[in-house]
Amino acid sequence: MKVKTELLVAHLRERLLPVYLISGDDPLLTGEAVDAVRLRARESGFTERDVHFMDRGGDWDAVLASVASMSLFAERRIVEVRLPTGRPGVTGNRVLKRVIESAGAETLLLILTGRLDREAAGSEWARAAEEQGASVAIWPMARAAFPGWLQSRARSLGLTVAPDALALLAERTEGNLLAASQELAKLALLAVDGRVDAAAVLASSTDSSHFDVGELDRALTQADGTRALRVLAGLRAEEVELPLVLWAAVKALHAVLAADAGTAPPRGGYGFNSAPPRQRRMGAAPAALVARAARADAMAKGRLRGDAWDELALLAADLCGNRALLAAPRALG
């Protein structure tokens, strides 16, 4: 069965299945889901725990032995298998399918992996886990849902957060739920009478936001120049590989130019977006935008003097049609 993240605790109160597959890339949400399963398992008498890290040197025979062997005192056991990816290979697929089918009253199998793509989610072992137990897929939190999540989290800590403080905290921790949770825990210790204002957030927190290149693509195609520059600054601070950032920017540029020309969308749709690019008045002619993208690429490869990140910022400002943003690239340095 499939279990939604927000319903996992309620599910565990009602029943404990022999197999749980928890997949996702967010360390906070995946960690909390794993902790919830472990806690419920301990309450049900699963007092022993074997952990197997299945990297390249992982021993699949040890996983088989862990499931097959009985404790000296016949105590229930959690067998935890940690996969770096959702592709365990031929041997791993076979062993996982076998141990999934072997899990039962005395053994609870807990499989942890990063986000599964469509092919990995349809593999034999993943389907077996869903049939024999529960599959919990943890997806990245949507930007629009983040303030609500923060508010709910704050209430659980007994905090009352002013709207401007909540907006500031959301901006400073966007895309980084672990940092957001840590900031709220810190505020819970510092807040007077549980009340948090913007000054308290400014005093206690630093900018811990996290972005991926998909956010840059979305900002550019939706003509959100201010956000595009903020995402670029974040990607640069996190030292994201420049070719990947260039790829996202050029993909967005192609989508925008295609929409502006009234032609069909690029193959595969509009990049990371489900909606077509927002109409905008661009700050430069299409040929100039393409030339600027080419300059950024040449700078990144060392063929032209200059800073590719600054050139990308100028491209973002022109593409979003806001000439006032042209002074902003200095913040990227």
> Among 28-32, 57-61, 85-89, 130-134, whose mean pLDDT is lowest?
57-61
Q: What is the predicted pLDDT for the residue at 330?
A: 42
Q: For residue 35, what pLDDT band results from cuts at 50, 70 and 90? A: very high
Q: What is the predicted pLDDT for the residue at 263?
A: 58
Determine how β-strand 160-161 pairs with β-strand 195-196.
parallel
Q: What is the predicted pLDDT for the residue at 266?
A: 53
| Identity of the residue numbered 180 | A
Q: What is the predicted pLDDT for the residue at 271?
A: 52
Cβ atoms within 10 Å, residue 60: 20
Q: What is the predicted pLDDT for the residue at 269?
A: 52
Q: For residue 34, what pLDDT band results from cuts at 50, 70 and 90? A: very high
What is the tens place of the pLDDT at every residue in 169-217? Answer: 888 888 788 888 888 888 888 777 888 888 888 877 766 677 888 888 8
What is the tens place of the pLDDT at every residue in 58-92? Answer: 788 888 888 777 554 557 888 898 988 878 888 88
Please provide the average confidence, as pLDDT, over all residues in the chain.
82
Instruction: Tell me: pLDDT of 11 over 90.
Output: yes
Residue of 138 and 206 predicted with greater confidence: 138
Instruction: Tell me: pLDDT of 279 over 90.
Output: no
CATH number belonging to domain 143-204: 1.10.8.60
Q: What is the predicted pLDDT for the residue at 278?
A: 58
Q: How far is CA 4 from CA 23, 41, 154, in A?
A: 12, 19, 22
Instruction: Tell me: pLDDT of 105 over 50.
Output: yes
Residue percentage of the chain with pLDDT more than 70: 86
3-state secondary structure at position 137 = strand
The answer to whether 40 and 70 have CB atoms below 8 angstroms apart is no
Phi, psi at 205, each rounded to 5°: -115, 155
Strand ranges, E, within the chain: 19-24, 46-53, 76-83, 107-113, 134-138, 160-161, 195-196
- Per-residue pLDDT, averaged over 160-173, amounts to 87
Provide the b/e sequence for 299-329 (b: ≥16 CB within 10 Å).
Answer: bbeeeeeeebbbbbbbbbbbbbebeebeebb
CATH topology of domain 5-138: Rossmann fold (3.40.50)
Q: Look at the chain and count its residues.
A: 333
| Angle at CA of residue 140, ends 5 and 198, nearest 5° | 100
Instruction: Tell me: pLDDT of 119 over 90.
Output: no
Helices 225-237 and 213-221 cross at an angle (nearest 10°) of 160
Residue of 296 and 106 predicted with greater confidence: 296
Residue of 260 and 194 predicted with greater confidence: 194
Q: What is the predicted pLDDT for the residue at 33?
A: 93
